[in-house]
Chains A and B, each alone.
Chain A
Amino acid sequence: MSDKGNNSPISGEEGSAKREVSAGLMQYSPENLMPFGPVHPALHEPEYFKLILEGEVIVDAIPRIGFVHRGIERAAQDRTWIKNIYLFERICGICSFAHSLSYVQAIEGILQFEVPKRARYIRVIVAELERIHSHMLWLGLVGYWTGFDTLFMWIWKDREHVLDLIEAITGNRVHKSYNTISGVRKDLPENISEPIKREMAYIQDRIRYYRDLVSREETLVVRTRGIGKIDAETARKLCPVGPLLRSTGIARDVRTEDPYAAYDEIVPEVKTSSQGDVASLLTLRADEVLESCRLILLALEKMPSGPTKLTAPRSVPKGENAFHVEAPRGELFYYIRSPGGITPERVKIRTPTMANVLTATSMLKGYTLADVPVVLTGMDPCFGCMDRISVFEVDKEKQWSVRGEDLRQYGISHYKTKKL
């Protein structure tokens, strides 16, 4: 099905599925409000989207974030630099390595450490393995969201191979706990290059098959092509990051623009796609997996020998630093300020989902309810990383912070008045 000649018996209608809807926040009654979340089979994390419907067409979508806010930025201020590595890893299970990588590199910047070359190569390998498993997770979930459970099961089945590799290298499948200030905690295990090469060949083979399948299986294509379309112009305005941005044809990737770890020597090819819809996100992510496989093999080949870490001091001198890495979902940004001691004074984290959520929500307008899971999750959301909370009274334009105890009291009284 190309853009002009539409001869598919299933999709029928000429052009895209998008319909024009009246702009602006319209008056809506509770009847045409459809809750999407916080508990919903399509969302694996709690987040609430108010969808205003007209029949099946979405007129407006309003995100309401903050359900899993954990106060991690604040918690970090009470912990030492080393302890924080493990804390930040737990911001997100999927991109845990990207979080710790960004954090430790920010510290290494303040300390002005020259990280051993071997450690930098190992970081590239683990980061790319993580990208593969994250992208495969998403590719499988697209199958789940569009009701194609078989694709979901297959891709996740193959994803196990990557997770096993990660476990063999770092000791755990999810929370890798592999980075430390000044390097990585352990060298690669012996005889790992053989399994890595074998699994990479397998993954490349499978991903090529899936890429072909998702671009040719008609029932899947009519659900994804032309859906959640965003053009480069809008993308520039709304500032999404990562694959969502690259799918509109804008080639931005932190790995090439501001190389960290060993990306100055193992240069990735930035994949883009011009369509900006979910279908192109599918092929784009598949392409990125293939590219990651190439990078891993390249890093393995070029890997120098030497130490993998230095001895890091317990305290960090006064100073501040910001660092960004290309997490699987896009640019992940860390800002840290050290008062010159064993704990940070402030850590600010901008996760990719935070940058993407508005884009994805605004992309919903005009599509039907059936497209919501695909469009909304096209950015590969990670709401746990994203949640922020701030309390303000709109009429008084007043803003303040609440303590945990107050929140608890509020919750108790709220439920008492509702007699729950």
Chain B
Amino acid sequence: MRCNYCEWRCELSGSKYGICKMYHEQDGEIQERFPYQWSTYTVSHIESFPFYHAYPGSKSLAIGTVGCNFDCQYCSNAFIAKGEPDTLLEHLFYLTPEKVVKLALQTGCHNIVFNVNEPTVSIPSLLELSRAARQEGLAMGCLTNGYTTDEATELLASAFSFFNISLKSISSDFYRKYTRAPNVEPILRNIKRLAANSHVEVVTPVVPNVNDHELLEIARFLSSANPDMVWHVFRLLPEYKMKELRYPSIEALIPVLEEARQLLPYTYFHNFVGSDWVNTECTECGTVVIERLSLGCGGDRLISFDCQDNSCPECGHRIPMLGGKIEWNQEVV
């Protein structure tokens, strides 16, 4: 039978486990091969994933499983995303949803973020985790490539309240060549669908001479989905099969990003240590209302929040934000 979680819609039967190798068919149902098996759990800043406009300052329990439905040529987590899941079992943690939630509470985390690999490959476990998290008042977020079916998108929307969706390009050619996925359309559809009801931030890694000419087009699309969309343009760190690639020039991208900011005021440029393009300015009066530090991939953090009730202190303009500022060591209610 065909898997209905992602748009590959793989045929699953016997030892056919699909492109992600994480599902199988049993008794006429699609089931997870490795339910409740996690690859990591660790404490992080919510800005580090990155989420810049959700629960700023909060402490997140970062979790992941293994497997991915894409084969990105520049994957920075290939050892976990593209490894054979059954050979990684020895390295995984078997933790019930209740136990994951308990770990979040023991470490004082305010939310749980699935960030290591693609959540679409572990949807049943994540649905159960979200139920357990909700009971304790913990919100859940995830990073996804957005290649879900309509049905699975609804499931993700029920499990997670904030999303960081990777939009690598606006062209299907790019997706075919660099991720093996045949078509960008489902991703564009899902960004619109999720942005309508959930908090969505989008990340676009810039690959020099490959997708850097598309940035304004991407900005236009995102603006049509939500003019306040938070957009993270990433200076790609070439890894995996594109390790030899040239690093994108920062100076060359600045004018393009300044133009993009006219379309999407909450455009950020980072994934390199010391970036100057990680602060939030009030779009009405230009006051810097939130300051962050960028430590490169996976290390961003808040350093000041001058935006009481998510409003500019100078002119009162609302800054779009899911939830309000959370103090790092604030007790989880």
Q: Do A and B come from one complex?
A: no
A interface residue numbers (CB < 8 A to B): none
B interface residue numbers (CB < 8 A to A): none
